[in-house]
Structure 1
Amino acid sequence: MVRWVLKVVSGWRGVVRVFAALWVLVWLQGCAVNPATGDRDFVLMSEADEISMGRKYSQEIRKQYPFYADQRLQRYVQTIGRKVAANSHRSALEYQFTVIDTPDINAFALPGGFIYIHRGLMAYLNSEAELAAVLAHEVGHVTARHSVQQQSMAMAGNILSQVVAVYAGGAAGDLSNIASTALVSGYGRDHELEADGFGAQYLANSGYDPQAMIEVIEVLKNQETFAQLRAQESGQQVASYHGLFSTHPANDERLQGVVGQVPALGNGRVGRDDYLKAVDGMAFGNSAAQGIVDGRHFLHKPMNLKVTFPEGWKLQNQPEQLVAIAPEEKAFLLLQMGEIKNGYTPAEYLHERVGKSRVRQGFDIEGKSYRGYSAVVDPRGKPLHRVAVIYYDGKVFELIGSVKNEREFDAFDRSMQVAIASFGPLPKVDSAKADGLHLKRVRAKSGDRYASLASRSPLSRYAEAQLRLINDQYPDGEPAPGQWLKVIY
């Protein structure tokens, strides 16, 4: 093989010929029959490798995302998901369906049948059929081996870039990288459409109306419209569910075509009441387990913790950290868990944490049931940082702040020190707020309107629009007497 390559290489034309020949060779060796489409696809891994890769990635997901603690809800989602998967092209896979405990509007699939749905997405669904549609869409990605095809393209591009670079220099390597990048630029519209088509088939095979796929898209498009209006006010970007669910309208002709050609078997199960029972009591927004943002206060009941940030700063509660951002993003202060290091004082911990950076103006922190150390850190070449390490209840907390313009560090540092000084046990008066918000299933009474329901809601803003959204009656629908609704309490 190497001798053949050496004979072919001759200037730039030789490089192109090598690239093309190698690509054909890799392509032919990697072709396999797609279990869902029946077509021959380019893949460089067996089903066993696919499952192994999915299992490995699932361990990383577990580290990055918290799983929702309600085992009743987890079992319900697993039951519906496996019902759909049992009627798919790859029913022999051992599928796992898991609810992630974040308010994000998302769902995704790993290779080999590891499928995740965020709790935030479930708040906007209104029937078992809609839940099944989301899960069926993700099963469609697995059965069609979309992620495996992506991975294989990336692997092939890697191989080609290395081989061609060896024999032809950096320029040819750049060419192959461009080619491989273009081929693996993510799930394109065709893959998303294909997943919707297979999902509709699996819905019908499982006794659900395949039109639930369209209904989910309508719900999510309304949610995205509402989120965009709010984002314009806050200047933030909107994170949407991937694929056609976020980028194409429900009246998309191709989408209507692939779903419309799947006939329902009988009337098709909806399961609205069962779904509303399943999500009754489910956390809405951030859960108590992840901590609650109450204005400028961060409340964490399981860790018995409260921290108050400067007035006007925006708080973003992320899975791994809480970030407080000053107006115009001029400064930030983040709170995160640190690694426990037995035998270290807080000062020793901080010095090791910042490495070779210069530390000055350090002082001890003493509070009720906790101790710590805070200092100004000079990373050399970057703006100054305010860093604090606090030992509390057997845990290590790190607070790290900085500024965009170092000339403003002193002014913002005073505010950051006040926030750090507010660190302490959760007061009893805040205990109820630290439980967070939840969904509640109620039956609408005669005369009920979303405006009146919103007046009794703990939501401070957009309560009326939010209630319409979670009940699929946005933007101006009203409840009918006797209708089961989701409210927020």
Structure 2
Amino acid sequence: MERRLDQGRASRADRALGRVVAATLALGLALTLVSCGGSISEQPLITSRQSAQLPASPAPTQSSRANAPRTQEHLKLIGAYGGIYRNEVIERTVGDIVDRLLAAGSGGGRSVNVTILNSPAVNAFALPTGDVYVTRGLIALATDESELAAVIAHEIAHVTADHARARARQAEAAALARRVSEVVVDPGIAKDSRETADVSLATFSQQQELEADKIGVETLAKAGFDPFAAARFLHSMAQFAALPSLNAATETKPGFLSSHPSTPARVDHAKRVARQFGAPGIGQQQRSRYLRSLNGILYGDDPSEGFVRGREFAHVDLGIAFTVPEGYVLKNTSQAVLATDGEHTAIRFDAVGLPESTSLEEYLKSGWIKGLVDDSVRFDTVGGLEAATASALVEGWSFRIGVVRDRNRVFRFIFASSKPASAYEGAFRKTLASFRLLSPSQRAAMRPLRVRIVAVRPNESAATLAQRMTGVEAAMKLPLFNVLNGLGEHELAAGDLVKLITE
């Protein structure tokens, strides 16, 4: 089982989708609705990068030791997270950090392999095999080597403490307790038995996280890194999740059955452990060297999976773009583009192969849509391309489906709502009508976002530096700049190196 450092903080749309139960349910139904089958549909074509598929042979990872045999779970994780991110400078930085941690005793003599995943999500996790994974999104958020070392040390601690297997044993015990509750006649006793099992399981996981934090901080100090880096980076991740544009409502206390302690609790705990080794300021951070290694690192979506810029999605390789209405939040994945209005409506967009000999009406009625309203198929043109629309009803949800043909493939829009109204139909029509083919000049002008490292000039402020960022919503520029550069913990001065996001 993978063990995540910070669940649910991947992106703006992750937060929006995660908080809105109705939209999440609608999206789930939409995914059920889109079940490609037979000879008509092929695999989704949204991802043009071949490496997103599972590699045929084990791929190398960053490690200070010989690679262990690759497991199927390892290969699946690489495929699910967009493949391996290749950057020689970053790989050397990660390798040096792992070497220092292992030399300090981290790993307990086990082989440790660290893989950089090509994902914009801020995440890290480990497998019992000693495979540790960090995303390029997390690497871009860290501001010095000690912060990245804190993450890796935390994940190695999960491996050496055998948390995955211990968690599995505890889950089995909890399952047995729930089974006992099923044969108890007294409903009060049955309820108590189930709650006791659930609380035990949740508490066990919280203890694991705090134990991994403690071991990780101790390892940082032994390796000569700043032991306060763990608390500092936990705080940075909380700030990143709380950015206004991420719609991230911060919690001041954990849910009673939360599988992870709240960030404030973990920050306080990490600081207490670090103080055993001295006051803040001890240990190496290597901020400037680390920032220089980040120069040019990809930020946000991989170009092979398209770009999300505000309410617009564009895919250079496929040569298409569309825009969702105001109030909708886009999320780009390797299989589809998802969106929600944060209330009752969810959207899925993807592309599949379709023989030119198959009409759009035949395709819509071929059985891949559950609950299709037979007489709802209508024909249209979108951006000069052949298109068709249809409606479906599934378990109380209303669906609107739009398909647009471009030679031997179709692009599919699927809207789902629990409370359809005129605004819902209008949003569907407006989004479908916005679909367009990109011209060669438009495709050539599109560039992925990257982290650029610049020196602060005299009289420059965070506000003026933030305005130099491109591809970022205006309201988000300053908050994102502050979080990416750890401001608050580090005040700006002329000559300092800072991160900017630019195309």
Same fold (TM over 0.5): yes
Query: What is aligned with 2:340?
Result: 325
**Is structure 2 residue 440 aligned with structure 1 residue 425?**
no
2:292 counterpart (258, 265, 277): 277
The counterpart of 2:115, out of the listed 73, 98, 101, is 98
Matches for 1:280-429 after TM superposition, within 5 Å:
280-318=295-333, 320-326=335-341, 329-338=343-352, 346-351=360-365, 352-364=367-379, 373-379=388-394, 381-390=395-404, 392=406, 397-406=411-420, 408=421, 412-428=424-440
- 5 Å-filtered alignment, 1:431-450, equals 431=443, 434-450=446-462
One of 456, 460, 465 as aligned partner of 1:453: 465
Q: Deviations over 1:90-122 (max 9, x none)?
A: 344343323334433332223322322233332
Question: RCO (CA 8 Å, sep 6+): is it higher in 1 or 2?
Answer: 2
Q: Which digits, 9 at most, give the CA deviation of each residue in 1:414-467, with x for residues without a partner?
A: 441342243233234544674232210112222222222223222312323322
| Cα distance between partner residues in 1 of 2:84 and 2:412 | 25
- The answer (yes or no) to whether the contact 1:360–1:377 under 8 Å persists in 2 is no
Shifted more, 292-301 versus 67-76: the winner is: 67-76
Tell me by how many angstroms 1:199 deviates.
0.8
Q: Please tell me whether the aligned partners of residues 292 and 453 of structure 2 are also in contact (alpha carbons under 8 angstroms).
A: yes
- Tell whether the 8 Å contact from 1:65 to 1:101 is kept in structure 2 after alignment: yes
Task: Give the total of aligned pairs.
Answer: 424
Q: CA RMSD in A?
A: 3.9
- Which of 191, 197, 201 aligns to 1:184? It is 201
Report if the CA contact (8 A) 1:158-1:177 is conserved.
Answer: no
How many Å separate the matches in 1 of 2:403 and 2:199?
45
Question: Residues 88 and 336 (structure 1 numbering): CA distance in 2 closer, same or farther, change over 3 Å?
Answer: farther
Residue 486 of structure 2 corresponds to: 472
Q: Match for 2:465: what amino acid?
A: L
How far off is 1:486 after superposition? Answer: 1.3
For structure 1, which segment, 444-453 or 92-101, has the greater mean C-alpha deviation from structure 2 after superposition?
Answer: 92-101
Please, what TM-score do these two structures have when normalized by structure 1? Answer: 0.73
How far does residue 165 in structure 1 lie from its aligned partner after superposition? 7.2
- 1:215 correspondence with 2:229: no
* AA partner of residue 58 (structure 1): H
Measured in 2, the distance between the counterparts of 1:245 and 1:66 equals 29
Inter-CA distance 486–195: structure 2 relative to 1 (3 Å threshold): same
Letter in 2 for 1:142: V
Taking the aligned partners of 2:466 and 2:344, their CA distance within structure 1 comes to: 35
Which residue does 1:255 correspond to in 2?
270
Q: For 2:350 and 2:158, locate their aligned partners in 1 and report how far apart those are by CA, in whole Å.
A: 34
For residue 487 of structure 1, report the CA deviation from its aligned partner.
1.6
Distance 1:129 1:288 in 2: 30
Which residue of 164, 168, 171 corresponds with 1:151? Answer: 168
CA gap of 1:57–1:486, structure 2 versus 1, over 3 A, is same
> Which has the larger displacement, 131-140 or 118-127?
118-127
Q: Give the number of the structure whose residues are more often helix, by fraction.
A: 1
TM-aligned CA distance change 1:170 to 1:363, over 3 Å: farther
Partner of 2:142: 125
1:62 to 78, 82, 87: 78
Other structure's SS at 2:452 match: strand
Q: Which residue of 2 aligns with 1:26?
A: none
Q: Which residue of 1 aligns with 2:30?
A: none
Take 2:321 and 2:373, find their aligned partners in 1: how far apart are those partners? Answer: 30
The answer to whether structure 1 residue 485 and structure 2 residue 498 are counterparts is yes
Q: CA deviation at 1:272?
A: 2.2
Q: Residue type of the partner of 1:425?
A: L
The higher radius of gyration belongs to 1
Asked if 2 retains the 8 angstrom alpha-carbon contact of 1:291 and 1:301, the reply is yes
Identity, in percent, stands at 23
Which blocks of at least 5 consecutive residues in structure 2 are unaligned? 1-67
The match for 1:46 is none
User: CA 1:394/1:201 → structure 2, altered by over 3 Å: closer, same or farther?
Assistant: farther
Deviations 1:343-400 (A, max 9, x none): 8654444332113543333145666796554312233x52331113445576554311
- Equivalence for 1:17: none
Instruction: Please list every run of 5 or more consecutive structure 1 residues that lacks an aligned counterpart in the other structure.
Output: 1-50
Compared CA separation, residues 182 and 98, structure 1 to 2 (3 A): same
1:181–1:397 CA distance, 2 compared to 1 (3 A): farther
Pairs within 5 Å for 1:108-119? 108-119=125-136
One-letter amino acid of the counterpart of residue 78, structure 2: R
SS of structure 1 residue aligned to 2:376? strand
Contact 1:465-1:474 at 8 Å conserved across structures: no
Q: Deviation of residue 135 (structure 1)? A: 1.0
How far apart, in 2, do the equivalents of 1:360 and 1:377 lie? Answer: 10
The alpha carbon displacement at 1:480 in A equals 1.6
Q: CA deviation at 1:208?
A: 2.2
Structure 2: distance between partners of 1:187 and 1:67: 32
C-alpha distance in 2, partners of 1:302/1:170? 62
2: distance between equivalents of 1:257 and 1:76?
Answer: 31
Using structure 2 for the length normalisation, give the TM-score: 0.71
Q: CA deviation at 1:136?
A: 0.7
